Amino acid sequence: MMEPANIDNLCILYQSSNFIVVNKHWDIRIDSKMWYEKQTVQSQLKQRFPELADPDTYYGFRFCHQLDFSTSGALCVALNKSAAGKAYRCFKERLVTKAYLALVRGHVQSSRVTVDYAIGKNTTEGMTHMMCIEGTHGCENPKPCQTELIVLEYGTYDGDPVTKILLKPLTGRTHQLRVHCSSIGHPIVGDFTYSLKKDCAPYRMMLHAYFLRIPVEAEPTEVTACDPFLTSIDPKWVPERREQQLERLIQELKDQDVADQDLAEEHRRQKELLTKQDQGRAEKSVMESEEQRVQCEQWLAEWTLD
């Protein structure tokens, strides 16, 4: 998929009456209010599914989450208000699992890294379109952010050393993965913005939303968007040594999801049980208070008669 995006090359990964998941092309916006930007995911959807566009929304479709202009991969779209609300709750409660593939500059030494840098808005003149890590000059309102990084393969891209990695964002901040990779000295290949306009040779930024799971009740949605960083697709990427198998890591994520959901369900049940117990105690207390009131009134009546 090295050809540029066009209005017709929309790849559908999943479709139901509630959701569509597309494999977003690199270098295309999800939507835009600018009249001159005719080519967006929203316009692709309208072209392919005009009957599914919702006239009650500004763009015609409800995007459940965001992907950067330069990022490709799995993007979920809700087809009605109810589905959008259910997906939103999953994101709000951090029940969604996302995993990205990337090629980064240099060879990452540690096989697994948790990057833990707060990220804020860059207010420096000329950089206001960027984010930055806490402690950077001009960094405004930094918020805690964590990203898990796992090395998949070492190799070269166009002769330069690079590492193929799996990224799992534990939080959801704008440009989080790009900023975190840059902050540890391994910027994403082709990231023009966070290489300070130096990395402009590759045909795209090498960041791809590979796995997405949204555990919507009654319709858990799980998709994988094909790995675009293969030598068969881009011969400039030459893997030399494999560290981890991608399929095994994704299965680990799925197994962890199941375990987390079981734990969350157990916590929910315990909370409901405690709530019922509290209600029972409150009702008992009300009953006891009522009995005490009746006894007090009876005692006062007897005392008055005396």
Which residue out of 68, 191, 199, 234 is catalytically annotated? Answer: 68
- Distance, CA of 127 to CA of 138 (rounded, Å): 9
Q: Which residues have C-beta within 8 Å of that of residue 236, sequence separation ≥ 6?
A: 157, 158, 202
- Distance, CA of 91 to CA of 189 (rounded, Å): 28
- Distance, CA of 85 to CA of 88 (rounded, Å): 5
Q: Do residues 208 and 70 make contact, with C-beta atoms less than 8 angstroms apart?
A: no
CB atoms within 10 A of CB 18: 18
- Distance, CA of 70 to CA of 205 (rounded, Å): 6
Among 103, 123, 107, CA closest to 164 = 103
3-state secondary structure of 273: helix
- Distance, CA of 169 to CA of 166 (rounded, Å): 10
- Distance, CA of 33 to CA of 165 (rounded, Å): 34
For residue 257, indicate whether it is catalytic.
no
- Please list the active-site residues: 68
